[in-house]
Amino acid sequence: MSIRSCRVAICDIDGVDHAVEVTASTLYEAVALGLVSLRGEDWVSAIPEGLNAVKVSVMNVPIEHSVRIQDFNAWLRREGGTPRERADRSRVREILRLNISPTR
């Protein structure tokens, strides 16, 4: 598992774009770290859920990803998968300080 520097960007409910740099080992970990960091800022209004996309750009490799919040939340609720997938979800839930039960 390699750790990458990433730029995480999202548009708030007022239509203002915000970005933060994080260090993460997975795409969803970068999303979680970015959301936690931006949600704590006074300049950032509420972040809408659903189809709002979080853009993740890997800094050391020119790659950009876009994840809809609803897909991110569905991934968090998912259960099963490989041991690595379960560990990744657990780590992201911990970052977000969430107690999300998997869907059944």
pLDDT, one tens digit per residue, over 35-51 is: 999 988 888 888 888 88
| Cα angle 60-61-66, degrees, rounded to a multiple of 5 | 110
**With contact defined as beta carbons under 8 Å apart, do 66 and 53 qualify?**
yes
pLDDT of residue 51: 84
**3-class state of residue 20 by DSSP:** strand
| Whole-number Å distance between alpha carbons of 69 and 63 | 19
pTM of the predicted structure, to 2 decimals: 0.71
Question: What are the tens digits of pLDDT across the range 65-95?
Answer: 999 999 999 999 998 999 999 999 999 999 9
pLDDT higher at 15 or 60? 15
pLDDT tier at 3, thresholds 50, 70, 90: confident
